[in-house]
Amino acid sequence: MKVSLILGVVFSFLSAVLAKELELEAGNWKNKNYLRTIDLSRAYVQETCLIEAENLDSKPQDVYYFTVNDGFDVIGNISLFEVSVSNNLKVDVENVLEGVYKLKLPAPVAANSVVEIKVKYTYTNTIAPFPAKIEMGDTQKLLLKLNKFVFSPYATSHYTLVFNGISKGQEMELVLSNPEEYGVTKNAPDMRPRVENKTFVYGPSMAEITPYTVQPMGLLYFHNKPLTKAFRLDRAIWIPASDTEMLNIEEYYELTNAAAELKSGFSRVDWMKGRYETTKNHWALSHLQFPLTKGNLFQDYYFTDKVGMVSSHKILSKTLFLQPRFPVFGGWKYNFTLGWNNPVKNYVHKVVSTPDTYIVRFPVLNSIEDISYDSVSLDFYLPEGAELLKVASPVPYENVEVGNELSYLDVSKGHVKVSLKFKNLIDSLNGKEVLLMYKYTKASFWFKALKISGFVFVGLMSYYILNFINIDITSK
Amino acid sequence: MVTSKPQEKLFGVRVETIRSLLRVIIFISIAGAAISSRLFSVIRYESIIHEFDPWFNFRATKYLVTHSFYDFLNWFDDRTWYPLGRVTGGTLYPGLMVTSGVIWHILREKLALPVDIRNICVMLAPAFSGLTAIATYFLTKEMKDSNAGLLAAIFMGIAPGYISRSVAGSYDNEAISITLLMATFYFWIKAMKLGSIYFATLTALFYFYMVSAWGGYVFITNIIPLHVFVLLIMGRYSHRLYTAYSTWYALGTLASMQIPFVGFLPIRSNDHMAALGVFGLLQLFSFGFYVKSKVTGKQFRNFLVFSSIFVSFLGVSALFALTALGWIAPWTGRFYSLWDTNYAKIHIPIIASVSEHQPTAWPAFFFDTNMLIWLFPAGVYLCFQELRDEHVFIIIYSVLGSYFAGVMVRLMLTLTPIICVSAAIALSKMFDVYMNLVDVLKSNGEDNSEETGSGKKSKAKRPSTNDKLFSIVSKLAVLLSFAFYLVYFVLHCTWVTSNAYSSPSVVLASRGPDGSSSIIDDYREAYYWLRMNTPEDAKVMAWWDYGYQIGGMADRTTLVDNNTWNNTHIATVGKAMCSSEEVAYDILKKHDVDYVLVIFGGLLGYSGDDLNKFLWMVRISEGIWPEEVHERDFFSDKGLYKVDGEASKTMKDSLMYKMSYYRFTDLFGGRDGIDRVRNQAIPLSQSPKLNVLDEAFTTQNWLVRIYKVKDLDNVGRDLHSATKFDESANDMKRKRIIKKPALDLRE
């Protein structure tokens, strides 16, 4: 039995549109148990939902719709979305609409049996400092706005909400200016918080929660760390044409700190007296830490910005520390460039079966710890005359652009530039690797070398020949 | 010795071929030495633009390569001299920017080398210094021979007097101008010697390039006519001279007028009148010679007397009349200060306030040229001995160059080339004599018929064995001592370049207590903060020294900069800095100032800070507002320049004082603050309060402090009482916040 859910009263605006357009065929499920864990230790929000779903239908079903626990447009940009089922089989995820995912389970679930689904997703641009402007010595408090209940197309019978990674928190009543528009649920069950094992726990609530329950809530918590954010990151990887050992990587960051802003101007006296730089317990961003890994040692790195070299940097205990020219407070910006070398053999491999074909395996990010990225462009510069065969990424990208870029001694069309555009990434995507396959023949290598030497030869010859022309006007 | 027998061969190769090969190798080595000795700063620091003026040139170059050439010439810059703006395209010498722009385009489009424009700008001066050495070689070769030429080239390559203005990163007009100066002079000598239109045209061409590159072109405009004039007086008129000068003057003047900044100056300004006068005189001479060839001697004498009286009367009265009518511009202030070193101090404080416009201290000559300075008169003396037409040029150049170098430190630069040339002439002459061991050795054996005529000794009485030994020993002694001098000269040049002239001044080097070197990068810290964290149209007020740097690095609008074209505007900034808060606030608001930037060296011990320049600000603004600003008020009762407890009230109330010491004493934990530059204690009780400004940013070592100008109070109080109210309210508010219950949030 398929039930068309058109629940106009409790729908959020978004879902209403969705339901009308799709005639959402949600199937007949019930959330027997819904454990929602929110990790707030980082600059973004990580939410893990453990769902025990029961098939109420008479037939086996294999499609479960998951909606992000929002309901009143408060969740910013969703960056990572991972689903796993108890037996670790592959789940097909289709992002039907913003915040709505269609999960195709690996096997149909029989009637009245239970499936355990684990959904993990991360969102950025949702937490904000409150108050937004504080003094330098104050401790920063962040406000997370969230839906206190489950925003699911199905009814939920058993619900727990857990907050992780906070030292001190406080629930705030959140009054919306237009509760009608979002359809705030009036008779939601009452849930009171308690502290348990360094976590902040609500529930479990035994009362049945109706589908699409919306109950806005604010959580104010102490977080004395910067909220590092990159508006933009351009990663350039220059893949050499010949058998050199090193590969050059250059990153350009446009960085900001989403933490609290300074109430008054920056006072160096207070900054020096507070020793915030050495204790590193402050919401101003004074250090950037890049962890060194086995494959990536930041050899010959350089750290510059638009006015030249920055001298404050060092490698200490397997971490590359960069110190921006000034501590970055909330709302301040800092743009810089970091470049380094890495052995080619770590990344580029020759395909044995097909001639002249190479595979590049390169991480999406070599990230700073605890950061979110709004937009990332991963640019591979293949040798001049190379041909892109295939590109694959474990992280979904917006689009791929293939173009040309003229670089040193490029005498024909230039390096082949393959750029992958990503949106809303976070540092935990560090290990994910993009695969890229290209074809580069020995012929195009020699063609380029010969073309350059040809030009030099023509230049010298023409100078030699010009010397023979007699422009003397005196008669001998 | 240059002439050799055509058939002479060494290992089967013609000697001429070997000689030219060696010459090329020597040239390459000289250019290599010249370039590499200028790279200290790049190696020690980075590829960065130095000092102040180069930042403007760099910014203009970037404008040129991102816009079209005509946009560049019509560039109206609204990001400087707010709110006036500057007609930048029409008030700069475009030669430098166009040169690097052309190089950039050629490298990028023709040679497939997309080099960053900054690196081209940084490396331009060293590259051109290599060319200067070669041009000097050719010039000196005309004076004596190629041996002297090579010596002059190597001297020119490493003489600190020239390096001071051409290290890597010193991207200033002088970087290419000295090359052009030497090239122009070489072609002039060549043209004058041969009477060749071809070379005269080349002279004009390089003269045009020079005009487009540096205001110092006036030096050429005057020295060539003077050379011709002296030759005429010496009775050395010739058709060659006539051809060379007329060609150069006509073409060069027309060409120079194509530069927008120069425009009609060549026919209107007094600086250029000498060239015009000599041009006229030359025509008269030529006419006179024509008449002389047609009439008898007596008639000609009468003709000469009458016509010369008539013509000089006519010329002088025309000059006076035109100047009086305003058709010819009178001389500029900078010109007067060339003749009277006290002129600037009295009339134009803004010129006097620049350290490079001060008279040169005599040790500077030794410092900048070392042994060349005492070889220099010897070279000039040798020129007097021979006194060919071109030697007259050397003599004139030496006299003028020495005088100007004595008047202004920066003109040391124009003296250095002639010192190198003269010293090379002297040294090579000496080497000619003392290195000639051939006849000594030859006459040692049997009498040889193949004696070359060049050795003077061979003509003397045949010396005995004892004498020969003596002469060899004396020759060796002289040669060895000069070899020592030369080695020492190279060491000195390297030392001076490395220690005195290779600091970018944007970045300061310091040594920690453990001897480790560290970098003080406060300027860039502040400029980059401005660039990143202020609105793009923010107006920054700072003393004019930092105008170009703020424009180049912080990319923000400034009120005044190093161009100093508007004295009143600079005086306004000076007034704001030296007045009380109320007066200053008025000025700041009227000029839409958002941020005020001061340099404060008190914590670090950096003596070039704004408080040490403060008296110049006072003097310059006193020049415009003598009733409101008085220099005397800034001195203590005893007449001393004090910032401690004895400082005068005006001093303590001035905006500059307050901005420099705002919260400075807080650093010293309840004791008086110590200013390390002036070695004075700032009393804790005297810690200044600011009402109209907020501290916005202070750099790590307090070198740069930036303040934000407060907005007008939104309930109409004056800012003084508003600040007081806030302070008292703050204490109450703090207590209240603690008691506040959980907040309700409203969206």
User: Which of these three, B281, B304, B329, is where a domain ends?
Assistant: B329
**DSSP β-ladder status, A333-343 and A348-350:** unpaired
Please tell me which of the candidates A264, A266, A408 has its beta carbon nearest to residue B113: A408
**Residue of A269, A333, A462 for testing the chain B interface, max B β-carbons within 10 Å:** A269
Distance (Å, whole) CA B88 – CA B74: 8
Measure the CA angle with vertex B612, ends B609 and B616; round to 5°: 115
Rg (chain B; Cα; Å): 32
pLDDT digits (tens, 9 = 90+) for B93-130: 999 999 999 999 999 988 888 999 999 999 999 999 99
- Residue entry with tokens 């170098």: B405
Distance (Å, whole) CA B359 – CA B363: 12
The three-class DSSP label of residue A53 is strand
A297 with A399, same domain: the answer is: yes
CB B529 within 8 A of CB B706: yes
- Predicted local distance difference test score (pLDDT) of residue B731: 58
- Predicted local distance difference test score (pLDDT) of residue B444: 52
Q: Is residue A463 part of a domain?
A: no
The three-class DSSP label of residue B576 is helix
Distance (Å, whole) CA B355 – CA B335: 17
User: Which of these three, B280, B301, B329, is where a domain ends?
Assistant: B329
For A278, the token pair is: 């050495």
Please tell me which of the candidates A170, A266, A408 has its beta carbon nearest to residue B742: A170
How many Å lie between the alpha carbon of A156 and the closest alpha carbon of chain B? 28
Q: Is residue B139 part of a domain?
A: no
Measure the CA angle with vertex A224, ends A219 and A225; round to 5°: 105
The three-class DSSP label of residue B355 is helix
Number of structural domains (chain A) is 2
- Predicted local distance difference test score (pLDDT) of residue B331: 66
Distance (Å, whole) CA B166 – CA B160: 9
Measure the CA angle with vertex B255, ends B251 and B257; round to 5°: 125
Please tell me which of the candidates A177, A269, A310 has its beta carbon nearest to residue B667: A269
- Predicted local distance difference test score (pLDDT) of residue B452: 44
Least confident span in A183-187, B317-321, B376-380, B555-559: A183-187
Please return the burial class of B44, using the count of CB atoms within 10 Å of its CB with bins 0-12, 13-18 and 19+: middle
Q: Is pLDDT above 70 for B231?
A: yes
Q: How many residues does chain A have?
A: 476
A270 with A205, same domain: the answer is: no
Query: Is B536 within 8 Å of chain A by CB?
Result: no
- Predicted local distance difference test score (pLDDT) of residue B440: 65
CB A149 within 8 A of CB A24: no
A202 with A263, same domain: the answer is: no
- Predicted local distance difference test score (pLDDT) of residue B154: 94
A35 with A171, same domain: the answer is: yes
- Predicted local distance difference test score (pLDDT) of residue B443: 57
Query: Is A406 within 8 Å of chain B by CB?
Result: yes
Alpha carbon of B131 to those of B31, B35, B57, B176, B502: distances in Å?
7, 10, 21, 9, 21
Residue B407: Cβ within 10 Å count? 17
Size of interface A-B (CB pairs under 8 A): 92
pLDDT digits (tens, 9 = 90+) for A266-303: 999 999 888 888 878 889 999 899 998 888 889 899 99
Report chain B's mean pLDDT, rounded to a whole number: 86
CB A426 within 8 A of CB A372: yes
CB B533 within 8 A of CB B520: no
Please return the burial class of B62, using the count of CB atoms within 10 Å of its CB with bins 0-12, 13-18 and 19+: middle
CB B23 within 8 A of CB B2: no
Q: Is residue B193 part of a domain?
A: yes
B491 pLDDT tier (thresholds 50, 70, 90): very high
Among B residues 626-655, those touching chain A with beta carbons less than 8 Å apart = none
All residues of chain B having their beta carbon less than 8 Å from the beta carbon of residue A473 are 198
A267 with A149, same domain: the answer is: no
CATH number of the domain at A302, please. 2.60.40
A304 with A197, same domain: the answer is: no
Alpha-carbon dihedral sign for residues B680, B681, B685, B688 = positive
Distance (Å, whole) CA B258 – CA B266: 11
Residue of A nearest to B702 (CA): A268
CATH number of the domain at B578, please. 3.40.50
A212 with A232, same domain: the answer is: no
Distance (Å, whole) CA B245 – CA A406: 49
User: Which of these three, A222, A239, A272, is where a domain ends?
Assistant: A222
CA atoms within 13 A on the CB side of B41: 30
Please return the burial class of A93, using the count of CB atoms within 10 Å of its CB with bins 0-12, 13-18 and 19+: middle
CB contact under 8 A, A264 and B48: no
Query: Is A361 within 8 Å of chain B by CB?
Result: no
Q: Is residue B253 part of a domain?
A: yes
A40 with A62, same domain: the answer is: yes
How many Å lie between the alpha carbon of A53 and the closest alpha carbon of chain B? 35
Phi/psi of residue A274, nearest 5 degrees: -75, -15
Query: Is A175 within 8 Å of chain B by CB?
Result: yes
Q: Is residue A214 part of a domain?
A: yes
Alpha carbon of A456 to those of A229, A450, A453, A464, B452: distances in Å?
48, 10, 5, 12, 47
Residue B694: domain span: 535-734
Q: Is residue A100 part of a domain?
A: yes
Percentage of chain B modeled with pLDDT above 70: 90
Rg (chain A; Cα; Å): 28
A174 with A262, same domain: the answer is: no
CATH number of the domain at A53, please. 2.60.40.1730
- Predicted local distance difference test score (pLDDT) of residue B332: 66
CB B166 within 8 A of CB B178: yes
User: Which of these three, A222, A239, A266, is where a domain ends?
Assistant: A222
Choice between A180 and B567, residue whose per-residue pLDDT is larger: B567
- Predicted local distance difference test score (pLDDT) of residue A10: 35
- Residue entry with tokens 């020096």: A272
Mean pLDDT, range A132-150, rounded to an integer? 89
Please return the burial class of B260, using the count of CB atoms within 10 Å of its CB with bins 0-12, 13-18 and 19+: middle
Query: Is A462 within 8 Å of chain B by CB?
Result: no
Q: Is residue A1 part of a domain?
A: no
Query: Is A279 within 8 Å of chain B by CB?
Result: no
What 8-state DSSP symbol labels residue A383?
P
Measure the CA angle with vertex B54, ends B52 and B59; round to 5°: 105
- Predicted local distance difference test score (pLDDT) of residue A20: 42
CA B533 to chain centre: 34
Q: Is pLDDT above 80 for B723?
A: no
**Residue of A145, A175, A268, A405 for testing the chain B interface, max B β-carbons within 10 Å:** A268
Residue of A nearest to B549 (CA): A307
- Residue entry with tokens 């005498």: A411
Distance (Å, whole) CA A455 – CA B166: 33
A186 with A250, same domain: the answer is: no
Q: Is residue B727 part of a domain?
A: yes
Q: Is residue A458 part of a domain?
A: no
- Residue entry with tokens 């990887």: A237
The ipTM assigned to this model is 0.90
* Bond into A131 cis (ω within 30): yes
Query: Is A305 within 8 Å of chain B by CB?
Result: yes
User: Which of these three, A188, A222, A256, is where a domain ends?
Assistant: A222
What are A19-22's contacts with CB under 8 Å, separation 24+?
A22/A96, A22/A97
Q: Say what angle helices B239-256 and B273-294 make with each other, to 10 degrees.
A: 150
CB contact under 8 A, A406 and B666: no
B395 pLDDT tier (thresholds 50, 70, 90): very high
Please tell me which of the candidates A130, A266, A306 has its beta carbon nearest to residue B697: A266
CB contact under 8 A, A409 and B112: yes
pLDDT digits (tens, 9 = 90+) for A28-58: 888 889 999 999 998 899 999 999 988 888 8
Distance (Å, whole) CA B522 – CA B701: 7
Number of structural domains (chain B) is 2
Please return the burial class of B557, using the count of CB atoms within 10 Å of its CB with bins 0-12, 13-18 and 19+: buried
All residues of chain B having their beta carbon less than 8 Å from the beta carbon of residue A272 are 667
User: Which of these three, B329, B358, B388, is where a domain ends?
Assistant: B329
Least confident span in A391-395, B441-445, B640-644, B666-670: B441-445
Q: Is pLDDT above 60 for A102?
A: yes
- The contacts of residue A204 (CB under 8 Å, 6+ apart) are A158, A159, A160
Please tell me which of the candidates A143, A172, A335 has its beta carbon nearest to residue B532: A335
CB B421 within 8 A of CB B140: yes
Residue A193: domain span: 13-222
pLDDT digits (tens, 9 = 90+) for B308-366: 888 889 888 887 888 777 776 666 666 676 677 677 667 777 777 777 777 888 888 98
How many Å lie between the alpha carbon of B608 and the closest alpha carbon of chain A? 21
Q: Is residue A420 part of a domain?
A: yes
Distance (Å, whole) CA A36 – CA A50: 6
Mean pLDDT, range A201-225, rounded to an integer? 86
CB contact under 8 A, B745 and A172: yes
pLDDT digits (tens, 9 = 90+) for B36-55: 999 999 998 889 999 899 99
CB contact under 8 A, A409 and B666: no
Q: Is residue A98 part of a domain?
A: yes
Distance (Å, whole) CA A271 – CA B30: 52
A188 with A118, same domain: the answer is: yes
Percentage of chain B modeled with pLDDT above 90: 49
Alpha carbon of B52 to those of A396, A448, B60, B546: distances in Å?
49, 43, 13, 7
Please tell me which of the candidates A177, A268, A273 has its beta carbon nearest to residue B702: A268
Distance (Å, whole) CA B569 – CA B623: 12
Distance (Å, whole) CA B388 – CA A406: 56
Query: Is B109 within 8 Å of chain A by CB?
Result: no
Query: Is A408 within 8 Å of chain B by CB?
Result: yes
A265 with A190, same domain: the answer is: no
- Predicted local distance difference test score (pLDDT) of residue B463: 54
Among B residues 319-378, those touching chain A with beta carbons less than 8 Å apart = none
Q: Which residues pair with A308 in a beta bridge?
A: A305
Q: How many residues does chain B have?
A: 747
The three-class DSSP label of residue B506 is coil
Residue of B nearest to A410 (CA): B112
User: Which stretches does DSSP call E strand in B312-466?
Assistant: none
Q: If phi over 0 gives left and psi between -120 and 50 gives alpha, with beta otherwise, what is residue A75?
A: beta
The three-class DSSP label of residue B13 is strand
- The contacts of residue B227 (CB under 8 Å, 6+ apart) are B188, B192, B392, B393, B396
For B384, the token pair is: 């007097």
CB contact under 8 A, B747 and A174: yes
What 8-state DSSP symbol labels residue B109?
I
Q: Is residue B347 part of a domain?
A: no
How many Å lie between the alpha carbon of B709 and the closest alpha carbon of chain A? 11
Q: Is residue A293 part of a domain?
A: yes
